[in-house]
């Protein structure tokens, strides 16, 4: 294939291939590279041929530095350092291993941003511009921006481009912490929170149906900004999770029809989806396939390509679909968006990440995108059927019956083309979500969601015995299978086109094996040998069921499922005492103190606190510690001490050991004279 053809198909990848081949050819004369690699790959080095000898010297100097330091700064200085380092065997041996592991092509592709032939990633010229234009066409956007440091940064780009202090932002309480950072801490906007659902298994659900009613939204505005409650378009932006971490998918058409006239823009945070428009039965949930007019909101979509699409970690993209409002005062032009983009982008990009985004778009182009995602849906359905056939305690999170017949009795082809097999029908016990409307949400077929024993499906209450999902997750990790996430009695696996039935059959076999170990009440040392070895004194003589019982009893004693639910209900939201940005500034100024969790009750949070995953804040800076949030973290603290080896990752709070016990500490705002009387009354 000719170079010009490669630029058309993979503009960024083709530039990397061209420049990378050239750089490999000239680096054979580099002293640094020769000292390291000649003993390892003499025949390969001898075979390299220069292709552009006229600029050979500058590339030699640059590459000799980059091979050692993986950097492009201060070329002459780093080259000298690299040559000196090459005389040390202590340095040579690790580098040989490093290079052998990743392969030469990775290092050849790590180009300098000063190389004008590669185009410009910040102002979008050359190959990067062509690649992003192609991606916009594939994903049905007006404009697409490739982002190299994750959707956390993509969200901040969008939020910093639109929001300013005093702007109202309609805010899904399920939003990832990056949205709090961008909208509330950085931009200083005022949030209007929407309550969301949790079910007894620990799954993250969607926003309640009543939250999309205009009268209700105007009531919420009157609570935080009464003077703006009657404005025609009170919200500068709404930030909604198009798909929750746990696979609850929204209907984008419904969202726009319900609240679009109240918002200048809607940001659909699609970190956990992005493939919906390539699956025919999911097309209605895609914001990028909507037909829009001048009265609709502008649409912005952020996607984590590295999650279930095809990209290295940190690859993300922003899709902008707002040409229908161009010329209106609310319109955000490219220059303004790119100003925010450049604030969050590195001036030293890693080109392989950018090339991966380019290739991802090509993979999704035309019929190939639809075919590969349909294969993924089919494999996911067949995997669920296998689990239902081979497991008795672990169950896929899908309806038990469809029109009176078992879900698994229908042909896979029929299930893969009809959303009724995935709908959350209001009132049905199998999902236990409350507050949903008909046809509002459905289960993402590309999220393999499983439940473990311990919850009565009909009542939603704890049973006498249960299997917390973290125990199953640790068993799977012991056997080489890493789940994406687990919580209470739920576990999640992400399905991608890379999965085949062989992988999924391996998973099902492990699930069936775990059930046999559970029924046999196998010794814990056999089921979880790593945890047992690390904490043998604590778990000596334990069996699998004994551990399950203790953890299940802990959940039931604290009613953790109810605490999770309450934290995201409006009636239990922590009270707001300060604007989140003001609270963050107080933290930066040191106007805070670190206190034990019980002492935080009634005090203003200086940091947002959350378990990770899923990265959803339970308390926001400026809110008051107390109520369900404080009890939830207290339950986690007890679990950390009672059951070592199963501690969750907590952010925004700090685990410190005192007198042989681990304690949760957090930063709170130091009280001011004007706040003292208020805080004395804030015992939630």
Task: Answer yes or no: do 208 and 333 share one domain.
Answer: yes
Task: Answer yes or no: do 386 and 440 share one domain.
Answer: yes
| Sheet (strand 485-487) strand order | 395-396, 447-451, 490-494, 485-487
Task: Answer yes or no: do 507 and 579 share one domain.
Answer: no
pLDDT, tens digit, 9 for 90 and up, residues 426-436: 999 999 999 99
Give the burial string for 26-37 (b: 16+ CB within 10 Å, else e).
bbbbbebbbbbb
Nearest of 54, 240, 58 to residue 158 by alpha carbon:
240
282 touches 252 (CB < 8 A): no
Task: Answer yes or no: do 38 and 156 share one domain.
Answer: no
* pLDDT at residue 521 tops 90: yes
Euclidean distance between CA atoms 666 and 634, whole angstroms: 12
Task: Answer yes or no: do 149 and 258 share one domain.
Answer: yes
Give the count of domains, the chain: 4
Q: Prior bond to 613 cis, omega within 30?
A: yes
Instruction: Give residue for tokens 């239902």.
Output: 388
Mean pLDDT, residues 64-89: 36
Q: Give residue 673's pLDDT.
A: 56
Euclidean distance between CA atoms 390 and 500, whole angstroms: 18
19 touches 355 (CB < 8 A): no
Q: Give residue 162's pLDDT.
A: 99
Instruction: Give residue for tokens 């035309």.
Output: 366
Mean pLDDT, residues 81-103: 66
Task: Answer yes or no: do 663 and 641 share one domain.
Answer: yes
Sequence-distant (6+) residues with CB within 8 A of 444 are: 243, 247, 248, 249, 272, 273, 422
Euclidean distance between CA atoms 579 and 182, whole angstroms: 14
| Catalytic one of 110, 269, 322, 487 | 269
pTM above 0.75, yes or no: yes
Whether 335 sits among the annotated catalytic residues: the reply is no
Mean pLDDT, residues 287-297: 98
* pLDDT at residue 442 tops 60: yes
Q: Give residue 266's pLDDT.
A: 99
Q: Give residue 107's pLDDT.
A: 84
Domain-located, residue 83: yes
Task: Answer yes or no: do 396 and 384 share one domain.
Answer: yes
Domain-located, residue 468: yes
Return the DSSP state at 84: H
Return the DSSP state at 281: G
pLDDT, tens digit, 9 for 90 and up, residues 575-584: 999 999 999 9
Task: Answer yes or no: do 202 and 344 share one domain.
Answer: yes
Which tokens go with 407?
A: 């879900």
Domain-located, residue 552: no
Using CB atoms within 10 Å of the CB of residue 9, give its burial: 0 to 12 exposed, 13 to 18 middle, 19+ buried. middle
* pLDDT at residue 22 tops 50: no
Residue 240 to residues 30, 60, 180, 431, 480: CA-CA distances in angstroms? 52, 50, 12, 22, 35
CATH, residue 453: 3.90.1150.10
Which tokens go with 322?
A: 């707002």
Is residue 78 very low, low, confident or very high in pLDDT (cuts 50, 70, 90)?
very low
Q: Give residue 114's pLDDT.
A: 81
Residue 668, beta-bridge partner list: 593, 605
Domain-located, residue 563: no
Whether 176 sits among the annotated catalytic residues: the reply is yes
* pLDDT at residue 538 tops 90: yes
Sequence-distant (6+) residues with CB within 8 A of 391 are: 508, 511, 512, 515
Task: Answer yes or no: do 338 and 482 share one domain.
Answer: no
In this structure, the dihedral spanned by the alpha carbons of residues 209, 215, 217 and 221, taken in order and rounded to 10 degrees, is -160
Beta-carbon neighbour count of residue 657 at 10 Å? 9
* pLDDT at residue 34 tops 90: no
Between β-strands 649-651 and 610-612, what pairing exists: parallel, antiparallel or unpaired? antiparallel
Mean pLDDT, residues 451-457: 97
CATH, residue 614: 3.90.100.10
Euclidean distance between CA atoms 176 and 244, whole angstroms: 10
Apex 153 CA angle, 141 and 7, nearest 5: 50
| Catalytic one of 124, 177, 307, 320 | 307
For 587-651, the DSSP string reads: HHTT-EEEEEGGGGTTSBBSS-BEEETT-B-SB-TTBBP-HHHHHHHHHHHHHHHHSTT-PPEEE
Tell me which of 661 and 89 has the higher pLDDT.
Answer: 661
Rg of the Cα atoms in the chain: 27
CATH, residue 229: 3.40.640.10
Choice among 185-194, 249-258, 342-351, 668-677 with the minimum mean pLDDT: 668-677
Q: Would residue 74 be called left, alpha or beta, if left means φ above 0 and alpha means ψ between -120 and 50 degrees?
A: left
Domain-located, residue 220: yes
Q: Give residue 53's pLDDT.
A: 28
Q: Which of these three, 118, 149, 172, is where a domain ends?
A: 118
Residue 639 to residues 466, 557, 635: CA-CA distances in angstroms? 16, 11, 6
Domain-located, residue 224: yes
* pLDDT at residue 56 tops 90: no
Is residue 487 very low, low, confident or very high in pLDDT (cuts 50, 70, 90)?
very high
Domain-located, residue 461: yes
Task: Answer yes or no: do 409 and 452 share one domain.
Answer: yes
Task: Answer yes or no: do 77 and 138 share one domain.
Answer: no
Q: Which of these three, 524, 541, 558, is where a domain ends?
A: 541
Residue 650, beta-bridge partner list: 611
32 touches 68 (CB < 8 A): yes
Residue 613 to residues 58, 485, 650: CA-CA distances in angstroms? 46, 7, 9
Domain coverage including residue 630? 574-681
Q: Could you give the residue ranges of the DSSP H alpha helices within 109-250? A: 127-138, 150-162, 177-179, 214-224
Is residue 2 very low, low, confident or very high in pLDDT (cuts 50, 70, 90)?
very low
* pLDDT at residue 65 tops 70: no
* pLDDT at residue 591 tops 80: yes
Task: Answer yes or no: do 277 and 302 share one domain.
Answer: yes
Q: Give residue 581's pLDDT.
A: 98
Give the burial string for 328-346 (b: 16+ CB within 10 Å, else e).
eeeebeeeebbebbeebbe
Q: Give residue 75's pLDDT.
A: 35
Q: Give residue 289's pLDDT.
A: 98
| Catalytic one of 19, 143, 156, 176 | 176
Q: Which of these three, 541, 566, 584, is where a domain ends?
A: 541
Mean pLDDT, residues 404-422: 99
Q: Give residue 68's pLDDT.
A: 30
Domain-located, residue 554: no
């Amino acid at each position: 294939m000719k170079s010009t053809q490669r630029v058309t198909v993979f503009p960024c990848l083709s530039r990397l291939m061209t420049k990378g081949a050239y750089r490999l050819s000239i680096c054979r004369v580099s002293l640094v590279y020769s000292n390291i690699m000649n003993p390892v790959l003499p025949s390969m080095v001898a075979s390299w041929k220069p292709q552009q000898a006229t600029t050979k010297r500058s590339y030699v100097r640059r590459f000799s530095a980059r091979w050692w330091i993986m950097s492009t700064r201060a070329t002459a200085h780093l080259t000298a350092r690299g040559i000196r380092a090459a005389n040390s065997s202590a340095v040579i041996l690790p580098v040989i291993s490093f290079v052998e592991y990743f392969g030469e092509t990775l290092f050849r592709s790590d180009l300098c941003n000063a190389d004008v032939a590669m185009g410009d990633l910040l102002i979008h010229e050359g190959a990067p511009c062509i690649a992003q234009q192609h991606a916009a066409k594939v994903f049905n956007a007006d404009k697409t921006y490739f982002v190299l440091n994750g959707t956390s940064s993509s969200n901040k780009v969008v939020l910093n481009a639109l929001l300013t202090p005093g702007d109202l932002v309609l805010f899904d309480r399920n939003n990832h912490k990056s949205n709090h950072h961008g909208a509330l801490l950085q931009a200083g906007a005022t949030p209007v929170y929407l309550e969301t659902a949790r079910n007894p298994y620990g799954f993250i659900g969607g926003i309640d149906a009543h939250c999309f009613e205009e009268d209700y939204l105007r009531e919420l505005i009157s609570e935080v900004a009464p003077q703006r409650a009657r404005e025609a378009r009170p919200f500068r932006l709404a930030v909604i999770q198009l798909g929750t971490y746990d696979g609850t998918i929204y209907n984008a058409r419904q969202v726009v029809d319900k609240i679009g006239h109240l918002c200048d823009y809607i940001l659909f945070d699609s970190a956990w989806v992005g493939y919906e428009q390539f699956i025919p039965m999911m097309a209605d949930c895609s914001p990028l396939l909507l037909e829009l007019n001048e009265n609709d909101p502008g649409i912005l979509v952020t996607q984590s390509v590295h999650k279930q699409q095809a990209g290295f970690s940190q690859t993300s993209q922003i899709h902008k679909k707002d040409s229908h409002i161009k010329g209106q005062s609310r319109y955000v032009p490219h220059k303004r968006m790119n100003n925010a983009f450049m604030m969050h982008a590195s001036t030293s990009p890693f080109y392989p990440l950018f090339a991966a985004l380019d290739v991802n778009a090509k993979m999704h182009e035309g019929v190939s995108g639809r075919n590969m995602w349909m294969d993924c849906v089919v494999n996911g359905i067949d995997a669920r059927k296998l689990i239902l056939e081979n497991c008795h305690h672990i169950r896929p999170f899908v309806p038990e019956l469809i029109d009176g017949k078992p879900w698994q009795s229908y042909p896979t082809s029929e299930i893969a083309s009809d959303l009724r097999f995935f709908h959350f029908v209001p009132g049905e016990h199998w999902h236990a979500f409350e507050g949903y409307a008909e046809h509002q949400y459905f289960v993402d077929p590309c999220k393999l969601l499983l439940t473990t024993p311990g919850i009565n499906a009909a009542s939603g209450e704890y049973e006498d015995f249960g299997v917390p999902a973290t125990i199953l997750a640790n068993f799977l990790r012991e056997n080489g299978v890493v789940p994406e996430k687990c919580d209470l009695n739920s576990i999640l696996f992400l399905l991608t086109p890379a999965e085949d039935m062989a992988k999924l059959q391996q998973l099902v076999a492990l699930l069936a094996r775990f059930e046999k170990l559970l029924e046999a009440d196998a010794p814990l040392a056999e089921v979880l040998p790593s945890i047992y070895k690390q904490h043998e004194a604590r778990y000596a003589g334990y069996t699998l069921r004994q551990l399950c019982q203790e953890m299940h009893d802990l959940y039931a004693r604290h009613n953790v499922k109810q605490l999770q639910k309450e934290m995201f209900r409006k009636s239990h939201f922590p009270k707001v005492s300060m604007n989140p940005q003001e609270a963050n500034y107080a933290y930066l100024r040191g106007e805070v103190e670190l206190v034990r969790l019980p002492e935080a009750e009634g005090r203003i949070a200086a940091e947002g606190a959350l378990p990770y995953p899923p990265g959803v804040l339970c308390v926001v800076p400026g809110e008051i510690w107390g109520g369900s949030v404080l009890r939830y973290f207290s339950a986690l603290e007890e679990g950390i001490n009672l059951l070592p080896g199963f501690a969750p990752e907590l952010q925004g709070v700090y685990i410190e050991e005192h007198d042989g016990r681990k304690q949760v500490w957090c930063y709170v705002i130091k009280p001011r004279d004007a706040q003292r009387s208020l805080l004395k009354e804030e015992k939630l």
